[in-house]
Amino acid sequence: MMRLRRSRMRPWLKKVPRQRHVRGTWLHRLLGDRLFTPELWRPTREGVARGAANGLFWAMMPIPFQMLPSGITAFFLRFNLPTAISVVWITNPVTWPFILYWQYRLGAWLLREDVPSGAAAYSLLDIAAGVPGPLLLGCAVTGLLAGALVYFSVNALWGAVAERWWRSHEHPRKPAGRER
C-alpha cells in the first residue's frame, strides 16, 4: 500500500523545489547559506503545519505574486519553505474570483455595510476599487481563520497518520498462506 502511494506521489514530488535547484542561483547569493538550513526544507510536523498556515494566509491576500511574501515569511520565521510556497496556489485564476467575492461579502457583513444591489453585475475590480474596506477586512479575516484551521488540521492529520504508521510497523506481519 505504501509503495502505491509513493508511486502516485512521485510525479508531484519531483516538482517541489530542491536545494540543488537553488544552489548557485541569485537567490543563494542574496540570502547566503542560511537558505539551506535543514529546518527550511525537511518536512517536520511543526514546520509543515506552520508553512501551510503561512501559505494559506498569503493566498487569501489580494496581492499579486503571493509566493514571494509567503516564501520571505517562511524564510525568516523558519517554516517549511516548499510547503509555504506551494500552498499559495490554492488561489488560482479559477478559484480567485469566487474567493474574492465571498471575502468582500464577509467584510461587508462584519462592517454592517450593504452590498451594492446587483453586485454580480459589477466587476470585482469595480467593487474592490469602490469599497476597499470590506474587501481588505474580509481578506484579513479569512486569511487568519483559514491559516489557523489548516495549522490545526495539519497537526492533527500528521499525528493520526504517524500513529497509524507506527502501529502498522510495530509487529512484523506474517506472510499470507504460510500457516503451520
Would 9 be classed as within a structural domain? no
Would 60 be classed as within a structural domain? yes
Would 89 be classed as within a structural domain? yes
Q: Which grid coordinates are listed for 47?
A: 514546520
Q: Which grid coordinates are listed for 119?
A: 453586485
Domain that holds residue 124: 43-168
Would 1 be classed as within a structural domain? no
CB 107 within 8 A of CB 133: yes
Q: Which grid coordinates are listed for 95?
A: 478559484
What's the Cα-to-Cα distance from 70 to each of 12, 73, 103, 150, 157, rounded to whole Å? 20, 5, 20, 15, 23
Would 141 be classed as within a structural domain? yes
CB 64 within 8 A of CB 95: no
* Element containing residue 140 per DSSP (H, E): helix 132-168
Would 49 be classed as within a structural domain? yes
Q: Which residue has the cell 479575516?
A: 141
Largest CA distance in the chain: 79
CA distance 113 to 125: 18
Would 72 be classed as within a structural domain? yes
Q: If you count DSSP H runs as helices and E runs as strands, how many of each does the chain have, helices first?
A: 10, 0
Q: Which has the closest alpha carbon to 99: 67, 135, 74?
A: 135
Would 175 be classed as within a structural domain? no
pLDDT tens for the chain, residues 1 to 180: 445 455 666 776 666 666 677 778 887 788 877 888 888 888 888 899 999 999 999 999 988 889 999 999 999 998 999 899 989 988 888 888 899 888 888 988 888 877 666 555 556 566 556 667 888 899 999 999 999 999 999 988 888 887 777 777 665 656 666 555
Q: How many CB atoms lie within 10 A of CB 62?
A: 19
pLDDT (0 to 100) of residue 59: 93
CA distance 152 to 74: 18
The number of domains in the chain is 1
